[in-house]
Amino acid sequence: MNQTEMLTEIQYLEKEILEKKKQLAEMKRNVEKEKVDNYVFSSFQNGRVSLAELFGDKNELFVVHNMGKSCSYCTMWADGFNSVYHHIRRKAAFVVSTPDEPDVQENFAAERSWTFPVVSTKGTSFKQDMGFVLDEGFYPGVTVFSKDDQGVIYRHASSFFGPGDDYCSVWPLFDLLPSGYEDYKPSKKINDRSPYQLTNNIAIQVKDYEKAIEFYHQTLGMKPEKSTDSETLFTTNGMNFYIENHNNSKDPSVFFEFAVDNIEDAKKVLIANNCIITKEFSEKSLMVSDPYGLKFHLFQV
């Protein structure tokens, strides 16, 4: 087969694959729906949350079955969904589920700057019932649900994830390379230049707390997620802003946040470079002030 014939064959195959994918999608949409229970999950964002509540104001819902923090492949899929989440949520609700504890999810999501909701399926039979536990091991994938006007929830199509699929954009791209994708092993590290991973959490101490809340909400258009007398969480453009009530005589401060794999090693390096540990919450969480004006929370993931 010469070059021209090969390019012609490639175009033919691409067209055939596209038609087959359309046919497959149509078949999946026509799979008979199945009524499911209203499972209850745990969430670092909202505490206890039911499957029905995950729909929000939508009547369709994607639930991604992620294997958790330990899986670098699942992490890469979630990173990809994060970049298009603002598009997905305009069409349907979208949630990532993992078997990790909520506190583990919270720290890992902050390190990755994930903006989509995350729920823990620990203590539930959800993944087993949806068919994503095989040979006593978790498998990655996605299930689609719908909810009718009476609040009844139905399961529709499901699909497994794996190297080479269409759910992670790196595979089709790597497939075009002469070397292919088979030798690629994803890394969970985002910042390869440093052990310090900047999260999407920023804490801002403010005076006139109530007026500040109104300003950030009404004027700047930030979304209030939860609030207490001492702190209010706002979200905007994938960032979490913790507005803290601060009425003492000292000037208010802004705090950023970094995640590290080994906080003891990081602590030694920071102290050796004239940083001050201003507060220790636990062995894995502390506040730092550097000599040049930056203040930040440091925690171990």
Q: Which part of the chain has CATH 3.10.180.10?
A: 197-300
Q: Which fold has domain 31-173?
A: Glutaredoxin (3.40.30)
197-300: CATH number: 3.10.180.10
Angle at 121 between CA 119 and CA 124, to 5 degrees: 145
Which part of the chain has CATH 3.40.30.10?
Answer: 31-173
Q: List the beta bridge partners of residue 60.
A: 146
Helix (H, G, I), strand (E, B) or coil at 26: helix
Say what the pTM is: 0.86
Nearest to 174 by CA among 72, 6, 165: 165
**Residue count of the chain:** 301
Contact 102, 43 (CB under 8 A): yes
| Tens place of pLDDT per residue across the chain (301 aa) | 788 888 899 999 999 999 999 999 999 888 899 999 999 999 998 899 999 999 999 999 999 999 999 999 999 999 999 999 999 999 999 999 999 999 999 999 999 999 999 999 999 999 999 999 988 889 999 999 999 999 999 999 999 999 999 999 999 999 999 999 999 999 877 878 899 999 999 999 999 999 999 999 999 999 998 899 999 999 998 899 999 999 876 788 999 999 999 999 999 999 999 999 999 999 999 999 999 999 999 999 8
